[in-house]
Structure 1
Amino acid sequence: MHQQINTPRKAAPAAPEPFVGIEAVAEFLDVTTAALRKWRDRGEMPFPSYAIGRRIKFRLSEVEAYALARAHRNAPEARRLGWS
């Protein structure tokens, strides 16, 4: 008779985060696609971008992290101006 050994199962690997296009990022940040392209061309992009084929793509989590950091950094100024 064989004894069955209970071994912990490994969790399935998480699905990779999908990429979003430049139009979605521009809308999210309230900037133009031209501004995003200019930032990328000048090496001034404040978050990673990825060339997939001929398209520029982004990971939304990285864009959101930038937006949160920017909002946090600007919070005292926004309060001073009465914007928040």
Structure 2
Amino acid sequence: MSNEIENITSTSETSPEKWVNLEDIAEHLSVSTDTVRNWIKDGKLPFYRAGKRYKFKISEVDEWLRDGKITD
């Protein structure tokens, strides 16, 4: 993963969570970038837009996984 990703075990109060890009979140989830794009299109993944780029917070994506909101 890129250097953008920081240790997510620290609380957001001590250090803010950094944003990651589509490729990083695909690697984090062990899926292809096409799968991530499909999940975005289907509304299955929390994301933000920064211009034409997608940005993600790993903590939000992990929470969606734990809650069972991401399914194929």
TM range (shorter): 0.5 to 0.7
* CA offsets 1:14-43 (integer angstroms, 9 cap, x no match): 654221011111011111110111111122
TM-score, with length taken from structure 2: 0.62
1:32 aligns with 2:29: no
CA distance in 1, matches of 2:14, 2:67: 28
For structure 1, the 5+ residue unaligned runs are: 1-12, 72-84
For structure 2, the 5+ residue unaligned runs are: 1-12
**SS, match of residue 44 in structure 1:** coil
What percent identity do the matched residue pairs reach?
38
Number of equivalent positions: 56
TM-score, with length taken from structure 1: 0.54
Bigger radius of gyration:
1
1:60 Cα shift? 1.4
CA distance in 1, matches of 2:56, 2:50: 10
